[in-house]
Amino acid sequence: KAGVTQTPRYLIKTRGQQVTLSCSPISGHRSVSWYQQTPGQGLQFLFEYFSETQRNKGNFPGRFSGRQFSNSRSEMNVSTLELGDSALYLCASKLAGQDTQYFGPGTRLTVL
Amino acid sequence: GDSVTQMEGPVTLSEEAFLTINCTYTATGYPSLFWYVQYPGEGLQLLLKATKADDKGSNKGFEATYRKETTSFHLEKGSVQVSDSAVYFCALGPNTGNQFYFGTGTSLTVIP
């Protein structure tokens, strides 16, 4: 079974731009979570989607948003990029009713 | 609220040394506990998990026991290898909500 895939793997943007990252969960997994990983802050929870609905949201500004499609694929969008948004963005999926998350390889976003 | 406290790094060990990475948690219920490992340039991989008190998770020579009385889930390995060099994350699974909680990560470097 294929693992969690994330595209693109690397992105370079400039301040003020917006970006969209994509995540395809493991087949059959309907829960998708997003995390931001930075050297200073560690792994921070952004939000979780289940069956196209946002179930949980972390403490991030409204510039960070996401959505999930009927095939469970998820996208996250960051508008008006800031230098501090440079990070590794990780997506994780899990089966409904199970408690183990499986992570993708991440998208490395650099904001110049 | 629920949280995870993990031993600060970085940790540097010689090959074949004994490894312990401490992890303690705070949780109102009895969620599952996890150790994830992140190799350079990659996402997080599940290393092991334990679902209830006194359970021992094990994988690739690593072990961790779910200790309710000390609220701990310390990671151990009897003889580390250079290939074990990575960042290790302790995590608390969903409890009353659907959110996971991660420790700050411990960087391990094993030198030949």
What residues of A are in contact with residue B100 (Cβ under 8 Å)? 33, 45, 101
Q: Which of B93, B94, B104 sits opposite A42 (nearest CB)?
A: B104
> In residues, how long is chain A?
112
What distances in angstroms separate CA A67 from CA A23, A53, A54, A73, one per listed residue?
10, 8, 8, 9
What residues of A are in contact with residue B97 (Cβ under 8 Å)? 56
Q: Which residues contact B41 (CB under 8 A, 6 or more apart)?
A: none
> In residues, how long is chain B?
112
pLDDT-derived band at A99 (thresholds 50, 70, 90) equals confident
Contact call for A43 and B105, based on CB within 8 A = yes
DSSP B34-69: EEEEE-TTS-EEEEEEE-STT-EEEETTEEEE-BTT
User: Can you tell me the mean pLDDT for B11-32?
Assistant: 94
pLDDT tens-digit readout, A17-38:
999 999 999 999 999 999 999 9
With a cut of 80, say whether residue B20 has pLDDT above it. Answer: yes
Check residue A79 and give its pLDDT: 96
Q: How far is B104 from chain A (nearest CA, A)?
A: 5
With a cut of 90, say whether residue B95 has pLDDT above it. Answer: no
A97 vs A84: which has the higher pLDDT = A84
pLDDT-derived band at B94 (thresholds 50, 70, 90) equals confident
With a cut of 80, say whether residue B97 has pLDDT above it. Answer: no
Check residue B98 and give its pLDDT: 72
Residue B9, Cα to own-chain centre: how many angstroms? Answer: 13
pLDDT-derived band at B96 (thresholds 50, 70, 90) equals low
Check residue A109 and give its pLDDT: 97
CA–CA gap between residue B48 and residue B35 (Å, rounded): 5
Is B46 part of the contact surface with chain A (CB cutoff 8 Å)? yes
User: Can you tell me the mean pLDDT for A61-83?
Assistant: 97
What residues of B are in contact with residue A4 (Cβ under 8 Å)? 43
B9 vs B89: which has the higher pLDDT = B89
